[in-house]
Amino acid sequence: MNRYFQTSAIVALIIVLLITWQHQPKNDQELALVKYEATDEIFPNPERGFYRFAPGTPASPPLDADTLLGYRQHAQTLVFRPYLIRDFRESDISAEYLDKMRQDFETLRRTGMKTLFKFRYSTAIGQPDAPLERVLAHLDQLEPLFREYGDVIAVAQGGFIGAWGEWHASTNDLTTTENMRIISRKLMDVLPKDRHIQIRYPAAKMQIYESMDPIGEQEAFNSSYKSRTGHHNDCFLASPTDVGTYWVGQFSDPLFDDMRDTLSIGWQKYYLSLDTRYVPMGGETCNPRPDAGDRYHCETALLELDQMNYSFLNYNYSRRILDTWVEQGCMPEVERRLGYRFAMRNGSFSRTVAPGGTFHFDLELMNEGFAAPYNPRTVQVVLRSADGATRMVTADLPVDPRTWQGGESIRLQYDLGIPSDLPAGEYDVLLNLPDPADELRDKPAFSVRLANTGTWEDGTGFNSLNHRLIIGTGSAGDPYKGELLFKQAVE
């Protein structure tokens, strides 16, 4: 029996080695091995990090380009724009107001910034919001703008309901489960299908979808309402309950009546830690309450930012908590790790390939951030002629960076086809993670920069892989028989 198992093990090992051999160049010398150095530099990347607060009111000027460019100099690429529409509780949003919003979106495009926003009728408890019919009519008005400028919308907060648009203290009964469901679905209907919304309370999402199950890998990014609903916490770390973000027995808001006996704080945090792997999580801190203790200190902050997969936070509020992070020394880590942060570790690439041949590409990265990206993003391998000409071909990899979770390694291992008509010569190999939107695809400010030393190209938005491939008619190698072909990008 032992001899049988030994024989079986040997046969299995031979099969594995044969499979591995079939996917490797026939000569180890054909591969170039490249090591990459990670950097602690804090730099801007799209749709993540600390955001700047820029309130929008009928009297407010549109966003200022110079101000936004200044934010980028501080590695900030997001602007939170809470649009106050209390003047329109009983009427349509004015054409003038909509024109100012259009100017905002145009300015965002020009400056390499994106926005997260919400709409609110009220800025205090007791101030009225609007009737349901008016909210829905306003969303119909906003749809053309959202569709035209969806590329610079990072995420939309649920808004509209109650004081500050934070889904409590409604004067029009908008916090019923049915009304929350109607408004949130309508908001998603008028946004591009690949954009999320965020709502204020984890229990509200459970009520709306009548489910206590978090989004899982199979359900993620399937365009359902549930898979497009994320979370924002507007009092992160300010009390044991984050000032009502997590329901406890003393919290009296009727929003949570149906779930009082089941939702401990610990369980809600567990739910969030799973759900936010596939939906955006962000928000702001607020002034700590007397019972906050040391909850907002660095140790707990780093733990929960990581556990809850935070992508962004308000840079302006609350300075009491943020200044504590500065004093205790964790602010640089928070700045680096909010959202995604991809660093290359090592790569293995073909040295020489003949036209029509196979380029072996193997790259390992690590996501050092708290979260995965939450919006779609293309991943391209780029071959660019090294002689100063404009020849360039690209291959889109069949991967989705939204699944590259924080703290996990990523392996990109593909055989790629070199075009049979690609001129012989030397080609630099690069990685490009552009925004997939037509308006933004070729704008470097909207491409993802990797956290490595000496690899980023400001002028192109490409990340150099520090490898030069030789295309030559006399090169050995396997003819390519797959479907991942490089395609002409620039003549």
Comparison of pLDDT for 447 and 4, the residue scoring more: 447
Which residue from 468, 484, 485 is spatially nearest to 385, judged by alpha carbons?
468
Which residue from 279, 484, 289, 471 is spatially nearest to 392, judged by alpha carbons?
471
CA dihedral (47, 51, 55, 56) in degrees, to 10, reads -20
Pair 328, 373 in one domain: no
For range 71-81, the mean pLDDT: 98
CA 375 – CA 279 distance, rounded (Å):
9
Strands 358-367 and 409-417, sheet pairing = antiparallel
Which residue from 412, 279, 416 is spatially nearest to 342, judged by alpha carbons?
412
Comparison of pLDDT for 126 and 489, the residue scoring more: 126
For range 54-63, the mean pLDDT: 82
Chain position carrying tokens 């709502």: 199
Which residue from 324, 404, 309 is spatially nearest to 364, judged by alpha carbons?
404
Pair 324, 208 in one domain: yes
CA 347 – CA 329 distance, rounded (Å):
33
Which residue from 116, 154, 124, 119 is spatially nearest to 136, judged by alpha carbons?
119
Pair 34, 68 in one domain: no
Domain boundary among 279, 310, 337: 337
Question: What is the pLDDT, as a whole number, of residue 5?
Answer: 41
CA 432 – CA 5 distance, rounded (Å):
48
Pair 322, 400 in one domain: no
pLDDT band at 252 (very low <50, low <70, confident <90, very high): very low
314 within a domain of the structure (yes/no): yes
pLDDT per residue over 451-464, tens digit each?
999 999 999 999 99
Question: What is the pLDDT, as a whole number, of residue 21?
Answer: 43
Chain position carrying tokens 């086809």: 417
**Structural domain of residue 201, as residue ranges?**
49-337
pLDDT band at 254 (very low <50, low <70, confident <90, very high): low
Please state the length of the chain: 491
- pTM for this prediction: 0.92
Pair 287, 360 in one domain: no
Pair 304, 407 in one domain: no
Q: What are phi and psi of 264, to 5 degrees?
A: -75, 160
Pair 290, 420 in one domain: no
Least confident piece of the model among 200-214, 258-272, 370-384, 433-447: 258-272
- Given a cut of 80, is residue 378 above it in pLDDT? yes
pLDDT band at 11 (very low <50, low <70, confident <90, very high): very low
CA 264 – CA 241 distance, rounded (Å):
10
For range 23-44, the mean pLDDT: 82
The number of distinct structural domains making up the chain is 2
326 within a domain of the structure (yes/no): yes
187 within a domain of the structure (yes/no): yes
Question: What is the pLDDT, as a whole number, of residue 256?
Answer: 53
Pair 218, 360 in one domain: no
On average, the pLDDT of the chain sits at: 92
Q: What are phi and psi of 360, to 5 degrees?
A: -85, 120
**Residue 2 token pair:** 């032992």
CA 367 – CA 375 distance, rounded (Å):
16
Residue pair 217/270 in contact (Cβ under 8 Å)? The answer is no
pLDDT per residue over 300-314, tens digit each?
999 999 999 999 999
14 within a domain of the structure (yes/no): no
Domain boundary among 337, 366, 398: 337
Q: What is the CATH number of the domain that holds 118?
A: 3.20.20
Pair 424, 312 in one domain: no
358 within a domain of the structure (yes/no): yes
Rg (C-alpha) for the chain, rounded Å, is 25
Pair 54, 167 in one domain: yes
pLDDT per residue over 141-165, tens digit each?
999 999 999 999 999 999 999 999 9
Question: What is the pLDDT, as a whole number, of residue 97?
Answer: 95
pLDDT band at 259 (very low <50, low <70, confident <90, very high): low
190 within a domain of the structure (yes/no): yes
7 within a domain of the structure (yes/no): no
Pair 25, 110 in one domain: no
pLDDT band at 262 (very low <50, low <70, confident <90, very high): low
pLDDT band at 257 (very low <50, low <70, confident <90, very high): low
Pair 201, 299 in one domain: yes
Which residue from 285, 296, 360, 362 is spatially nearest to 330, judged by alpha carbons?
296
For range 408-435, the mean pLDDT: 98
**Residue 417 token pair:** 């086809």
At position 412, the amino acid (one-letter code) is L
CA 4 – CA 363 distance, rounded (Å):
39
pLDDT per residue over 237-249, tens digit each?
999 999 999 987 5
CA 187 – CA 35 distance, rounded (Å):
46
Domain boundary among 337, 370, 391: 337
pLDDT per residue over 117-141, tens digit each?
999 999 999 999 999 999 999 999 9
Question: What is the pLDDT, as a whole number, of residue 199?
Answer: 98
366 within a domain of the structure (yes/no): yes
**C-alpha to C-alpha distances, 318 to 11, 32, 315, nearest whole angstrom:** 63, 50, 8
CA 249 – CA 263 distance, rounded (Å):
9
Strands 197-199 and 153-157, sheet pairing = parallel
CA 12 – CA 146 distance, rounded (Å):
56
pLDDT band at 325 (very low <50, low <70, confident <90, very high): very high
Q: What is the CATH number of the domain that holds 479?
A: 2.60.40.770
High-pLDDT (> 90) share of the chain, %: 86
